[in-house]
Amino acid sequence: MEFRKLFLHSSVLVLHFAFSSSRDTITINQTLHDGDFLISRENNFALGFFSPGSSSFRYLGIWYHKVREQTVVWVANRDDPIKGSSGVLSIDQYGNLVLHSYHKQKAPVWTTNVSVEVTDYCVAQLLDTGNLILVRDKSESTVWESFDHPTDTMMPGMKLGLNRRTGMNRFPICWRSADDPGTGNFSLRINPNGSPQVFIYWGIKYIWRGFPWPLKSYADILNVSFVNNQNETYSAHSVTDASVILRITLDHSGLLKKLIWHEKDGKWNEFWSAPKSPCDPYGHCGTYGICDPDYLSRRFECDCFPGYEPKSPRDWHILKDASGGCVRKRLESTSLCGHGEGFVKVANVKLPDTSAAVWVSMNMSPTDCEKNCRRNCSCSAYASIDIAGKETGCLTWYGKLMDTVNNREEGYDIYVRVDAVELAEIAQKWNGFLERKDMLAILVVSVVSAWFVIILFTYLWLKKKKERVRNKWNKRWLDTIGRTYYNETSVENQVEGSMSHPEIAFFNLSTILAATNSFSPANKLGQGGFGVVYKGKLSNGKEVAVKRLSKDSGQGIDEFKNEVLLIAKLQHQNLVKLIGCCIQGEEPLLVYEYMPNKSLDSFLFDMAFMERRENMGDS
Ligand SMILES: *[C@@H]1O[C@H](CO)[C@@H](O)[C@H](O)[C@H]1NC(C)=O
Ligand SMILES: *[C@@H]1O[C@H](CO)[C@@H](O)[C@H](O)[C@H]1NC(C)=O
Ligand SMILES: *[C@@H]1O[C@H](CO)[C@@H](O)[C@H](O)[C@H]1NC(C)=O
Ligand SMILES: *[C@@H]1O[C@H](CO)[C@@H](O)[C@H](O)[C@H]1NC(C)=O
Ligand SMILES: *[C@@H]1O[C@H](CO)[C@@H](O)[C@H](O)[C@H]1NC(C)=O
Ligand SMILES: *[C@@H]1O[C@H](CO)[C@@H](O)[C@H](O)[C@H]1NC(C)=O
């Protein structure tokens, strides 16, 4: 008996498994009972009945099939729980998905309610995106999809926002609690006014505001896009790495969270959430207030825009309550229009609420943007913004500036309209700052100059010392050769000594470089095993051939000396005349007279001669 029961049980399980893994659709007259599942083709998502948390109620929902921790992304009957396992999902003769509970005999617990015409073809399919779609005819046009009716989770590919043609507004609403998927009080919605923004609402009250479009662009794992035209206003996201399971959810406490499933840890890792900082709650510093989340250095996170002051100084300074916001200074006495007013920059802020803002043009220079704002007396501020991949946009505000937050990483500069008095005061402060800055600059410059002078002198001294050593060396060498120098008048020759019997000159490397155009390939005459020969022209017009003895010719400086000595002794009609050498660079250089008519032969001969010498030296 026990065995029989066990066998039955396991065969049910096996059947169940085979059934559920193969099925991702239901059609007319088919049913899905509590305990049955639809599994999407790639096993990404499952649809079935579940009980959330400690609740004993049953709900029809969609969850991640590959995620161990049951994570429900969509609930059909969120406000009409089913008691016990009596729930049945089916498609009625009109082609609507209907959810019945045996305890509620007549009216369905939930229905898609999109059609009233009898049909004989209708299929509901759970897709691998987590979308449950209802297809009414064989042309496969979707008449209903769960993505249009979000619960509390935004899925990749889901649209958040309005379809102006159908009047549909898609937005997630949080659960009541972790145990109750019923409609909660927080929602995530797009406000299409002005430049559209995403808000978290509590009822109809703003709790938090996202970045105005199209400013925020994500280049990381999340690709957020937005569309705003006469037909639609929506935002959607995709995940750039298909292997990542990512969800955006509005939890029951009103926190918007972005989470990634970590298979290894077996849990969701939250990588972003809002509201979080003291400046996140909408309008924390009131109208014309600016909130600074890094306010630790100051006593209060709130400040007023330039030209504005706290409306209630007592609340502001003593109670640290900024909800009253700020008001314009000298409100009665000065005008903001046509009386020498101007604009003051407030740098790096999350731009104020753009519900009352207008994109004047997607292609307007900062100067024109300012002119545009100045022209209209009700324009309170403007921002000139570079939108990646697009032109410079001009955003202008009409009316109050609300919910501005300092944001050093992702902020923009805004220019706020101030009266002439404020402008003058700011200019004065700025000048004062400049004076202080001047003092600082002078100090910095003097310290830097002092260091520079010290370093320069040290460098020159070291250079001089090195030169002295080199010259000493040269002199010694020349003494051993027993010759005096050849002076080429226009060549700056820094070698000390007598210039009376010119035989061999010592050239500066710079002279050689100038003569050969820095060993330009165009000046190359030929190449032998001993090195490369370049044509050059000294500053006195004399044409020379410079042989660059390759470093790996294996010759030490002593061999080189002997070479020069030998060639100098062997000056012969048939040989090209050696004028001098250079030993400043890394490679020793020999400078010959250049004879255009018999150049090649001479050089070839010369090279062969040099190579012969080298071999003789080796043996
Ligand atoms: C279906 O929709 C119609 C109108 O759109 C509405 O009157 C009706 O109450 C809805 N039925 C259910 C069960 O939601
Ligand atoms: C569904 O069931 C009804 C009633 O049993 C029947 O008349 C109808 O033909 C069935 N439709 C399909 C598509 O099987
Ligand atoms: C939603 O707000 C109403 C009205 O303030 C309140 O009675 C209710 O308890 C709130 N619901 C939740 C889930 O917090
Ligand atoms: C981001 O999404 C848009 C619209 O869906 C798409 O055109 C674009 O290719 C996506 N970019 C990346 C990097 O995935
Ligand atoms: C809006 O919808 C109409 C009708 O479907 C279409 O012709 C038009 O191109 C759409 N406009 C945009 C901007 O998508
Ligand atoms: C100023 O701009 C507002 C908002 O765009 C507009 O309604 C108003 O007509 C403009 N006023 C003038 C004088 O251009």
Assess if residue 280 is contained within a domain. Answer: no
Same domain, 267 and 356: no
Same domain, 100 and 190: yes
- Residue in 80, 96, 113 to alter for ligand 1 test, most ligand atoms within 8 A of Cβ: 113
CATH classification of the domain holding 65 = 2.90.10.10
Assess if residue 126 is contained within a domain. Answer: yes
Query: Residue 36: which pLDDT band, with cuts at 50, 70 and 90?
Result: very high
Q: Nearest 5°: phi and psi at 475?
A: -60, -45
Three-class SS of 189-229? EEECCCCCEEEEEECCEEEEECCCCCCCCCCCCEEEEEEEC
Q: Is the CB of 115 under 6 A from ligand 1?
A: no
Closest CA to 29 of 95, 91, 97: 91
Same domain, 139 and 263: yes
Boundary residue ending a domain (418, 434, 465): 418
5 annotated as a binding-site residue: no
| Residue ranges lining ligand 2, Cβ < 6 Å | 28-29, 120
Boundary residue ending a domain (393, 418, 443): 418
Q: Give the ligand 1 atom nearest the CA of 107.
A: 13
CA distance 514 to 490: 13
Cα of 487 vs centre of ligand 1, distance in Å, is 109
Overall average pLDDT of the 236-242 stretch: 89
| Residue ranges lining ligand 4, Cβ < 6 Å | 223, 225, 238, 240
Assess if residue 7 is contained within a domain. Answer: no
Same domain, 59 and 206: yes
Q: Which domain holds residue 86?
A: 24-274
Assess if residue 305 is contained within a domain. Answer: yes
Read off the pLDDT of residues 491-504 as tens digits, 9 standing for 90 and up.
334 333 333 334 66
Assess if residue 13 is contained within a domain. Answer: no
Query: Residue 388: which pLDDT band, with cuts at 50, 70 and 90?
Result: low
Cα of 53 vs centre of ligand 3, distance in Å, is 20
Single-letter amino acid, residue 315: D
Q: Which of 9-23, 263-277, 434-448 has the lowest mean pLDDT?
A: 9-23
Same domain, 40 and 152: yes
Assess if residue 100 is contained within a domain. Answer: yes
Overall average pLDDT of the 238-261 stretch: 93
- Residue in 372, 374, 378, 395 to alter for ligand 6 test, most ligand atoms within 8 A of Cβ: 378
End-to-end CA distance of the chain: 106
CATH classification of the domain holding 557 = 3.30.200.20
Read off the pLDDT of residues 444-477 as tens digits, 9 standing for 90 and up.
888 888 888 888 888 888 888 776 655 554 554 4
268 Cβ neighbours under 8 A, 6+ residues apart: 69, 71, 247, 259, 260, 261, 262
Q: Which pLDDT value is given to residue 477? A: 47
Same domain, 257 and 322: no
Assess if residue 379 is contained within a domain. Answer: yes
- Residue in 185, 201, 252 to alter for ligand 3 test, most ligand atoms within 8 A of Cβ: 185
**Nearest alpha carbon, ligand 1 atom 5:** 113
Q: Which ligand ends up closest to the CA of 183?
A: 3
Same domain, 66 and 167: yes
Same domain, 62 and 180: yes
Same domain, 171 and 317: no
Q: Which ligand ends up closest to the CA of 165?
A: 5
Cα of 262 vs centre of ligand 2, distance in Å, is 46
Closest CA to 211 of 391, 385, 370: 385
Assess if residue 82 is contained within a domain. Answer: yes
Of 209-218, 375-384, 449-458, 495-504, where does the model show the most confidence? 375-384
Boundary residue ending a domain (418, 433, 450): 418
Same domain, 228 and 113: yes
Same domain, 601 and 537: yes
Partners of residue 310 on adjacent β-strands: 326
Q: Which of 359-368, 418-427, 434-443, 604-613 has the lowest mean pLDDT?
A: 604-613
pTM > 0.75: no
Q: Is the pLDDT of residue 75 over 50?
A: yes
Evaluate whether 576 touches 595 at the Cβ level (below 8 Å). Answer: yes
Q: Could you tell me which residue, 299 or 489, shows the higher pLDDT? A: 299
- Structure-token match 């994109």, residue found: 359
Same domain, 223 and 99: yes
Counting the structural domains of the chain, the total is 3
